[in-house]
Amino acid sequence: MLTFIPINGLPIVAPGHNIAALIAASLKDNGQSLLDGDIIIIAQKIVSKAENRFVDLKTVTPSPRALELAALTRKDPRQVEVILWDTAEVIRAKPGVLIVQHRAGFISANAGLDHSNVAPETDEIVLRLPADSDASARRIHAGLEKITGQKPPVLIVDSHGRPWRIGTTGVVIGLAGLKPVQDLRGHPDLFGNRLQHTEVAFADQLAAGASLVMGQATEACPVVIARGIDYQPDESARAADVLRAAENDLFR
């Protein structure tokens, strides 16, 4: 049976913190341990904080492109400039909305730039996504093995909106140790018919489930264990493996 287990008691993460060490210490403090088959799911925000992805908007000078987009979207031009630092392509821009393709390949609002629960003493600090979320996941993956002797797959997750549906949901933006998409094509259904098109967004489903436990506001639960579900190990997998190729994208 699949269970999502919160890891409670992590401190407020600051630049330079070792996420794997913090997780291991919190598990020990709570009398918990990692089991074979566990999957660690981590909110992007604490990874970004540990990697010092903070930006003080007072230090940012908007470019002409940022000023143009800020006028169109009615956003702070300094924030727009920071968004552009991580943007490969602007997909949509209208009042209140800036949808871009991140340099990592996924499409989201504001390139994942975060303003909530970042710096309580000022509203001038924003937080970028990790520079390479897959590399971050691999470091935590290896760090947990070194400290605990277990090497659970690691998912780094963020909240994204979706076309045609209201509300955000958890999605994977970085991973290590498991295949993120389960290809069920060729498997039989209940009546023996072979599935033709079924590919399951396995990592995103775990991200969404864990996000219910993590919460979006004051819950302060940035790390969750997924326990009791089979997965396909894959040490070479990347979060980009879930992305539809541009030539097959019918929705842009």
Q: Per DSSP, what are the bridge partners of residue 114?
A: 127
> Are the CB atoms for 102 and 109 separated by under 8 Å?
no
Here the tokens at position 71 are 């006028």
- What is the pLDDT, as a whole number, of residue 119? 61
Q: Write out pLDDT tens, residues 53-71.
A: 999 999 999 999 999 999 9
Indicate if 55-128 has the same CATH topology as 1-53+133-243: no
Residue 175 scores a pLDDT above 50: yes
Confidence of residue 185 (pLDDT cuts 50, 70, 90): very low
Phi, then psi, of 29 in degrees rounded to 5: -60, -30
Average pLDDT, the chain: 90
* Backbone φ/ψ region at 35: left (φ over 0), alpha (ψ -120 to 50), beta: beta
Structure confidence at residue 245 (pLDDT): 83
Query: Quick one: residue 105, left, alpha or beta (phi over 0 = left, psi -120 to 50 = alpha)?
Result: left
Residues belonging to the chain: 252
Distance CA(37)–CA(237), nearest Å, equals 17
pLDDT of residue 212: 92
Q: Provide the pLDDT for residue 218.
A: 46
Name the more confident of 247 and 216. Answer: 247
Separation CA 51–CA 31 (nearest Å): 28
Question: How much is the average pLDDT of 219-247?
Answer: 90
pLDDT of the residue at 192: 56
Cβ–Cβ < 8 Å for 134, 239: yes
Distance CA 203, CA 157 (A): 9
Topology adopted by domain 55-128: CofE-like fold (3.90.1660)
Average pLDDT over residues 118-147: 91
List, in order, residues 6 or more apart from 218 with CB less than 8 Å away: none
pLDDT at 182: 77
User: Which CATH code for domain 1-53+133-243?
Assistant: 3.30.1330.100
- For the cut 90, the answer to whether the pLDDT of residue 19 exceeds it is yes
Tens of pLDDT, residue by residue over 72-98, are 999 999 999 999 999 999 999 999 999
pTM of the entire predicted model: 0.91
Percent of the chain with pLDDT strictly greater than 90: 75
Name the nearest CA neighbour of 219 among 51, 48, 7. Answer: 7
Instruction: Kindly indicate the confidence band of residue 194, based on its pLDDT and cuts at 50, 70 and 90.
Output: low
Burial class (CB within 10 angstroms; exposed 0-12, middle 13-18, buried 19+) of 103: middle
3 state SS of 125: strand
The residue type of 35 is L
Sign of the C-alpha dihedral computed for residues 178, 182, 188 and 190 taken in this order: positive
Domain boundaries, given as residue ranges, for the chain: 1-53+133-243, 55-128
Q: What is the pLDDT of residue 251?
A: 74
What share of the chain has pLDDT > 70, as a percent? Answer: 89
